[in-house]
Amino acid sequence: MTMKEIRFHGRGGQGAVTAAKMVASAGAEEGMYVASFPMYGFERRGMPVVAFTRLDDKPIHEKTQIYTPDCLMIIDPSLLNLKGVFDGFKAGGVLILNSSRPLEKAPSENLEKSGVVDATGIALDEIGRDIPNTCLIGAMAATTGWFSLDAVKNCLSEYLGGEVLEKNIRSATRGYQEAEVQTWGS
Partner 1 sequence: MTVQLDKQSKVITGNAAAAYAAMLCRPDVVAAYPITPQSEVVEQLARFHANGVLDCEYVPVEGENSAQNVVCGASMAGGRTFTATSSYGLVYMYDALFNTAGYRAPVVMVNVNREPPGIHAVCSGQQDMISTRDTGWVQLIAESCQEILDTVIQGFRLAEDHDIQLPVMINYDGYYLSYLAESVEIPAIEDVDKYLEVLKSQPQRPRLIPGQSIGCGSHGMGMGYVELRRRHMDAMERVKAKVDDIDASFAESFGRSYGGQVETYRAEDADIVLVTSGSVTGTARTVVDARREAGLKVGLVKLRLFRPFPVQQLSEALKGKKAIGVLDRSIGFGWNCGPIFMETKALASQIGIVPMLSFIDGLANMDITKEHIDTMIDAIYDASQGKDYQETTWLP
Does 145 bind partner 1 (CB under 8 A)? Our answer is no
Distance CA 125, CA 43 (A): 27
On whether the CB atoms of residues 72 and 10 are closer than 8 A, the answer is no
Q: How far is CA 173 from CA 56, 66, 79, 111, 114, in A?
A: 24, 28, 24, 25, 18
Q: Name the H helices within the chain.
A: 16-29, 119-126, 133-144, 149-156, 162-178
Does 101 bind partner 1 (CB under 8 A)? Our answer is no
User: Binding-site residue total for partner 1 (CB under 8 A)?
Assistant: 25
Which one of 32-40, 74-82, 85-93, 113-121 is the stretch in contact with partner 1 (CB under 8 A)?
Answer: 32-40
Q: Which of 14, 36, 133, 134: binder of partner 1 (CB under 8 A)? A: 36
How many other CB atoms are there within 10 angstroms of residue 175's CB atom? Answer: 32
Q: Nearest CA to 140 among 100, 168, 172?
A: 172
Does 28 bind partner 1 (CB under 8 A)? Our answer is yes
Q: Which is nearer to partner 1, 43 or 109 (CB)?
A: 43
Q: Which of 2, 64, 81, 183: binder of partner 1 (CB under 8 A)? A: 64
Q: Which is nearer to partner 1, 51 or 136 (CB)?
A: 51
Q: Enumerate binding residues for partner 1 (CB under 8 A).
A: 17, 20-21, 24-25, 28, 33-39, 41-43, 60-65, 67, 155, 158
